């Protein structure tokens, strides 16, 4: 590790209030540095967690301009290529990033998952998005990293054998695991599949060790939604359509301060690496009067079929189909999965105490993003970026397990 990078990591320890002693000083000094490429990077949830774990993200790719802007403003040291990966040859990508194959140790990414999503009622077997992972395979083949991680929804498992064979054909041993965020200190029931592959000596043993380490980091208790909502300004639903740029004490601000009250939950301290000072993207969205009335009448845990809203429920004849069209989250439980669908409405994510849907910041907190992580672009794009992201805390835990195995080499 060179002097500049050693200094950065040393500052990181101090910033996170980690006491510096001879043991962790020597551990830091002797730690190898591993370079990562993040493909289909989105707004940077996976990258952010890996950076916290100790990796260096040297390059990233994302097709969505808003997500790429969010990524870049939060990770200024990473070279971002904003382009459709279908049109990029891996060799050209490396050249544009001033990198060579030997510079890359680790490739990660989450190919778009809408074609596999169980929530997509119109899934198509031949959806072209189902094969975007093959471009990830091509990058792994050309860059030849020691290890790779590919994340996706559970629906991809029907192609698991094909995916594993594609990676085995280029010299990698591969295994996968379904990881639920709620088991790792995140207030969200979120199951995702993580494929991990390696071409190192005894790669099968190394992959199994990584998964065993991940398993060992499971928590015995869950974090409640109320912890994630702590300290944010109380808001009302925006009363007018297409006024998302409007800001006020009632409806929220792009940049705001934390409202300190009582003890700060450990979860908030953890995702912020200390006491948060500024919070971004906490702004309420528009809801019509009928929806606000439904939000008010529903008890926590109540959905579209609840008798309290039977007189005003607009989908009475289709309650069996749209049971979750409305759902009020429970403060003493984990949230349901945060998804990109929130860009359309947040009726399935009703705030447990306030008559409105969750704000982008509340969704980001549930995803374990720090409060100073800015989401750029239009208001609804904030939701889609957050919903598509890998929770940084999950990425950090996985990264730490990968790093332990890589440092044994």
CATH number of the domain within which 179 lies: 3.40.50.150
Determine the 3-state secondary structure of 57 from DSSP.
strand
Joined tokens for residue 384: 């889609």
- pLDDT given for residue 335 in this prediction: 98
Q: Which stretches of 242-368 are DSSP H helices?
A: 266-271, 289-297, 360-366
Burial annotation 85-99 (CB, 10 A radius, 16+ → b, else e): beebebeebbeebeb
The answer to the question of residue 331 being in a domain is no
The answer to the question of residue 288 being in a domain is no
- pLDDT given for residue 17 in this prediction: 46
Cα(268)–Cα(277) distance, integer angstroms: 11
Is the separation of the CB atoms in 112 and 118 below 8 Å?
no
Contacts 24+ apart (CB under 8 A), 252-256: 252/282, 252/283, 252/284, 252/359, 253/282, 253/283, 254/280, 254/281, 254/283, 255/279, 255/280, 256/280, 256/282
Beta strands in 251-360 (DSSP E): 252-256, 279-283
Segments forming the whole domain that contains residue 152: 3-220+398-406
The answer to the question of residue 269 being in a domain is no
Joined tokens for residue 48: 């952010």
- pLDDT given for residue 124 in this prediction: 46
* Segments of the chain with pLDDT less than 50: 2-3, 15-18, 22-23, 25-27, 120-124
Percent of the chain with pLDDT over 70: 86
- pLDDT given for residue 314 in this prediction: 77
215-264 pLDDT per residue, tens: 999 999 999 999 999 999 999 999 999 888 999 999 999 999 888 777 89
Cα(44)–Cα(46) distance, integer angstroms: 6
- pLDDT given for residue 3 in this prediction: 43
Task: Determine how β-strand 191-198 pairs with β-strand 173-180.
Answer: antiparallel
Cα(32)–Cα(239) distance, integer angstroms: 54
The answer to the question of residue 36 being in a domain is yes
The answer to the question of residue 301 being in a domain is no
The answer to the question of residue 352 being in a domain is no
**Distances from the Cα of 109 to the Cαs of 255, 308, 393, in angstroms?**
30, 44, 16
Among candidates 231, 340, 354, which has minimal Cα distance to 300? 354
Query: Hunting for tokens 């140790």 — which residue is that?
Result: 105
- pLDDT given for residue 259 in this prediction: 80
Is the separation of the CB atoms in 368 and 44 below 8 Å?
no
The answer to the question of residue 391 being in a domain is no
If one counts the domains in the chain, the total is 1
- 211: part of which helix (H) or strand (E)? helix 203-216
5-61 pLDDT per residue, tens: 555 555 555 544 445 554 454 445 556 789 999 999 999 999 999 999 999 999 999
Joined tokens for residue 232: 């944010």
Cα(151)–Cα(195) distance, integer angstroms: 6
All residues at 6 or more sequence positions from 261 whose CB lies less than 8 Å from its CB, including other chains:
231
Is the separation of the CB atoms in 325 and 349 below 8 Å?
no
The answer to the question of residue 306 being in a domain is no
Give the active site residues. 113
């Amino acid at each position: 590790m060179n002097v500049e990078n050693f200094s950065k990591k040393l500052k990181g320890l101090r910033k996170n209030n980690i006491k510096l002693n001879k043991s962790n000083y020597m551990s830091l000094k002797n730690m190898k540095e591993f370079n990562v490429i993040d493909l289909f990077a989105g707004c940077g949830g996976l990258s952010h967690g890996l950076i916290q774990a100790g990796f260096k993200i040297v390059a990233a790719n994302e097709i969505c301009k808003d997500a790429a802007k969010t990524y870049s403003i939060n990770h200024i040291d990473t070279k971002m290529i904003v382009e459709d990966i279908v049109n990029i040859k891996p060799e050209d990508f490396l050249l544009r990033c001033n990198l060579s194959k030997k510079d890359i140790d680790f490739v990660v990414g989450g190919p778009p998952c809408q074609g596999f999503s169980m929530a997509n009622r119109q899934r198509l077997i031949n959806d072209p998005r189902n094969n975007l992972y093959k471009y990830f395979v091509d990058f792994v083949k050309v860059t030849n990293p020691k290890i790779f991680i590919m994340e996706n929804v559970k629906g991809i498992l029907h192609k698991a054998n094909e995916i594993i064979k594609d990676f085995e054909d280029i010299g990698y041993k591969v295994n996968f695991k379904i990881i639920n965020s709620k088991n790792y200190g995140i207030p969200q029931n979120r199951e995702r599949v993580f494929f991990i592959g390696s071409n190192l000596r005894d790669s099968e043993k190394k992959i199994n060790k990584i998964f065993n380490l991940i398993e060992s980091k499971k928590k015995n208790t869950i974090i409640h939604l109320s912890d994630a909502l702590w300290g944010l300004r109380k808001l009302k639903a925006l009363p007018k359509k297409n006024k998302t740029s409007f800001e006020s004490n009632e409806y929220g601000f792009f940049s705001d301060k934390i409202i300190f009250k009582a003890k700060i939950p450990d979860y908030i301290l953890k995702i912020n690496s200390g006491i948060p000072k500024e919070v971004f993207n906490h702004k309420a969205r528009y809801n019509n009067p009928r929806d606000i009335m439904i939000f008010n009448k529903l008890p926590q845990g109540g959905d579209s079929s609840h008798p309290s809203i039977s007189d005003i429920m607009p989908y009475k004849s289709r309650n069996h189909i749209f049971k979750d069209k409305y759902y009020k989250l429970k403060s003493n439980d984990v949230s349901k999965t945060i998804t990109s669908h929130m860009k359309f409405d947040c009726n399935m994510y009703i705030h447990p105490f306030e008559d409105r849907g969750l704000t982008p910041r509340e969704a980001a907190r549930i995803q374990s993003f720090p409060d100073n992580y800015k989401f750029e672009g239009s208001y609804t794009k904030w939701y889609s970026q957050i919903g598509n992201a890998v929770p940084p805390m999950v990425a950090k835990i996985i990264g730490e397990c990968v790093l332990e195995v890589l440092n044994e080499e």
